[in-house]
Structure 1
Amino acid sequence: MTRINVEYTTEGSKHMQPATFLLKTTFADKDPAAHILFDYGIYTREMDMYEQILPHLAIIVREELQDTRKMFAATVNADRQRDSIIFEDLSLEQYKVACRLKKLDLVHTHLLLEKLAKFQAAGAALAERLPGIFEKNYDRGFFNKHCRGYEHIMTNVLKALSHTLELNGDLKKRYQAKIDRLVDNVMAYGERATSNNPGDFLTLAHGDLWTTNVMFQYDNKGHPTNAIFIDFQFSVWNSPAIDLHYFFSTSIHENLRLQNQTELVQFYYYKLVEALKKVNYLGKVPILFVFQQQFRARAFYAVFSSLVFEPAIVYNGKEEPSIEKFISADEEGVRLRDAVYQTEETEKKLHLILPFLDQLGLLDEM
């Protein structure tokens, strides 16, 4: 991502005007992780989103949901030949990314869930109006039936977790065997949890919804007034529950994550139903009880989010994280993966997260 400053004139004017844009470039042939990511379709999906999907969603949200706030950055240009997208620079409107280490409080969480409900209601409506628009390249989230590029990352990180449990006798006794079994089954369980079943409410999920992929705008008292989404490389046609699990597991305060999830799902659900009515969605909207069941049916998404991605997301140590290092079997890769788990903060959280997941049956054979 590069910020570019330009000066330009409009037709019929001699006066130069300044402008700032963000340029995002993705060169698959130069990406050291391309062999992992290519089959997921991420190099074309974000361009598809900005060119073909997001403009439609913006109109639905603005005109039918009557929310004039931004939902994502406007696209200036998408250049497939050069693998680049030029966006408006939202920092000019004082949008900023929240701290990935401090995570989000209830006010930020409610605001984000409200915007997510509108985004996903608009996605469901768009799928009805333009049948087939999500058929190509929107079936490949982190878990899917087509590729397992993330398998080595997930298994290597879970092995590092098992190694870390050696340092705590109580955790080792209670959870090490279960984590070791997950190493062999994480991909199969994940694919099962993200399979779409008859009767499920489906829509466009962001697919990678965590703190750094959201920007907030604030009033002069420091209260968040809007939230926008960025980075749509893993957007996928699936249950909104996968976004909820991923977001709860990676991005909100621990007390909210462990004690308030059912309430937060209810909050999101009511906002979703309200938005679906406004866009005249014709499909079947599940009752809250059924939607909560759908959320629980995809709960394994919280396992990989909590135990694989979240420790890496909040890692702030000396080792330099990269996809290649998470895959590598060499000393540097092992050292990084051990370091991710062996921070004081992560070790404390393991005493909370492992029982939470275990009590839901998510660490047992499934």
Structure 2
Amino acid sequence: MSEKNIHEEPAWLTKDYVEKKLRTYFKEDSLQLKKLGVEPATAKGDNYASVMTRINVKYTTKDSKDTQAATFLLKTTFADKDPAANLLADYGVYTREMDIYEQILPHLAKMVRNEIGESRKMFAATVDVDRERDSIIFEDLSLEHYKVACRIKKLDLEHTHLVLEKLASFHAAGAVLAERNPGIFEKNYDRGFFNKHVRGYQPIMRNLLEALSRSLELNQDLKERYQKKIDRLVENIMDYGERSTSANPGDFLTLAHGDLWTTNVMFQYDGKDRPSNAILIDFQFSVWNSPAIDLHYFFSTSIQDNLRWKHQPELVQFYYYKLVESLKKLKFSRHIPSLFEFQLQFQARAFYAVFSSLIFEPCMLYTGKEEASIAQGLSPSESGIRFRDSVYHADHIKEKMVFTLPFLDQLGLLDEL
């Protein structure tokens, strides 16, 4: 989940560097870069785990005397001095995403297109992966009129169904790829937000839960009913989270996206402004696990409240049938769970909704004036405390907690687990 007030492009992002990458991508040695421009590619609050830069270029080739214009996106890590850099590096996110774009997504895209029969674009094309600089250059999907939905308004049923349909194809292809290529996900795909190796997010989660607890002082009813439960979560959040992501015998497992929320999906629209395609982006926290963690995370952070409170089982069912359909087309040979079995698997991962709802979602919906960053989540400074308190003191978050806390509590998710 960082946003800086000043966007600084990398010093190595020069005309010579970009020209070399574009020559390789277009397979055109005569390409001459005439102009290079850079600008921030994400707005405040849209990205907590990387820096996105839009690259605007003008170039010529021997076959075209006219100057051509193009736009690409550059994804880079934070500067070494940013506390987020070390935290995220411990989770292996940068290496993992480069692996995914080089080694995994091309296979998945081909399987979805050729075997599932999905002709719509599945992922953004990769221009270059630079492991020395921990960077990736992608095609700019905005040129094909893809855009991110509003993280504040969230997704309606039509958008939600489209995401679940594409997610089911992604999950099915991931499971079958693992079946066809044993061991492909064994290395560095076991470090989601909760795992048995690192607990870098622990201080952030504790700090934010403590801020939530403080905010309950403003609502006597919520304080009496939930403050002690939230305080207990502060000490147990990582243990409970690890349990919620541990595989159980018979579970259906696959490559989960791991960070599936509104700004990590881009939509294309038809002439009537209805969503016609959805593309998944940002695979830094992709992990080999139950697809249920993606569902809980997505439902908790990205769909409209009415859908979440009243229609969640139906949405799981919708996703499940799409998943089974794709698995059968891909000739998955292992056990496909029944709907009942999958609903049980979804329930067994329910604690994933707790941290998504109480910690990440309030940050994702933050619209305040404080700097929103991983550093602020970690910092014991007055600025860090002020940011965290302002997250939960926002009117829309206080109103949401009136519904979120009872929703989680009635499932027993705020009790000792």
TM-score, length basis structure 2: 0.86
1:89 aligns with 2:153: no
- Structure 2 partner of 1:364: 415
- How is 1:1-366 mapped onto 2 (pairs within 5 angstroms)? 1-10=52-61, 14-26=65-77, 29-366=80-417
**Large movers: runs of 4+ above 6 Å:** none
Equivalent residues of 2:120, 2:277 under 8 A apart: yes
Secondary structure at the aligned position of 1:329 is classed as coil
- Tell me, in whole angstroms, the C-alpha distance in 2 between the residues paired with 1:333 and 1:9: 48
RMSD: 1.2
- Tell me, in whole angstroms, the C-alpha distance in 1 between the residues paired with 2:58 and 2:371: 37
Q: Which amino acid in the other structure matches residue 277 of structure 2?
A: N
- Tell me, in whole angstroms, the C-alpha distance in 1 between the residues paired with 2:353 and 2:314: 17
- Tell me, in whole angstroms, the C-alpha distance in 2 between the residues paired with 1:27 and 1:311: 23
Secondary structure at the aligned position of 2:389 is classed as helix
- Tell me, in whole angstroms, the C-alpha distance in 2 between the residues paired with 1:256 and 1:357: 15
**Displacement, 1:33?**
1.3
- Tell me, in whole angstroms, the C-alpha distance in 2 between the residues paired with 1:305 and 1:223: 28
**Displacement, 1:16?**
4.0
- Tell me, in whole angstroms, the C-alpha distance in 1 between the residues paired with 2:379 and 2:367: 20
- Tell me, in whole angstroms, the C-alpha distance in 2 between the residues paired with 1:332 and 1:245: 31
- Tell me, in whole angstroms, the C-alpha distance in 2 between the residues paired with 1:228 and 1:209: 11
Q: Which amino acid in the other structure matches residue 182 of structure 1?
A: L
Equivalent residues of 1:138, 1:235 under 8 A apart: yes
Q: Which amino acid in the other structure matches residue 66 of structure 1?
A: G
**Displacement, 1:168?**
1.1
Q: Which amino acid in the other structure matches residue 24 of structure 1?
A: K
Q: Structure 2 unaligned segments of length 5 or more: list them.
A: 1-51
Q: Structure 1 unaligned segments of length 5 or more: list them.
A: none
How many residues are treated as equivalent by the alignment?
Answer: 366
Instruction: State the percentage of identical aligned residues.
Output: 74
Call closer, same or farther: CA 1:133–1:28 in 2, change over 3 Å. farther
Q: Which segment is superposed worse, 196-205 or 22-31?
A: 22-31
Equivalent residues of 2:82, 2:375 under 8 A apart: no
- Tell me, in whole angstroms, the C-alpha distance in 2 between the residues paired with 1:357 and 1:216: 30
Please list the CA deviations of residues 304-346 of structure 1 after superposition, one character each: whole Å capped at 9, or x if unmatched.
0000000111010111111111111121111111110011111
Secondary structure at the aligned position of 1:149 is classed as coil
- Structure 1 partner of 2:42: none
Equivalent residues of 1:28, 1:43 under 8 A apart: no
Secondary structure at the aligned position of 1:33 is classed as helix
Secondary structure at the aligned position of 2:83 is classed as coil
- Tell me, in whole angstroms, the C-alpha distance in 2 between the residues paired with 1:196 and 1:246: 17
Please list the CA deviations of residues 247-289 of structure 1 after superposition, one character each: whole Å capped at 9, or x if unmatched.
0000000011111111100000000000000000111110000
- Tell me, in whole angstroms, the C-alpha distance in 2 between the residues paired with 1:163 and 1:99: 29
TM-score, length basis structure 1: 0.98
Equivalent residues of 2:77, 2:85 under 8 A apart: no
- Tell me, in whole angstroms, the C-alpha distance in 1 between the residues paired with 2:182 and 2:405: 42
**Displacement, 1:125?**
0.8
**Displacement, 1:201?**
0.2
Please list the CA deviations of residues 137-170 of structure 1 after superposition, one character each: whole Å capped at 9, or x if unmatched.
1000000000000000101100111111111111
- Tell me, in whole angstroms, the C-alpha distance in 2 between the residues paired with 1:323 and 1:237: 24
- Tell me, in whole angstroms, the C-alpha distance in 2 between the residues paired with 1:253 and 1:18: 38
Q: Which segment is superposed worse, 24-33 or 46-55?
A: 24-33
Please list the CA deviations of residues 186-219 of structure 1 after superposition, one character each: whole Å capped at 9, or x if unmatched.
0000000000111100000000000000000000
Secondary structure at the aligned position of 1:364 is classed as coil
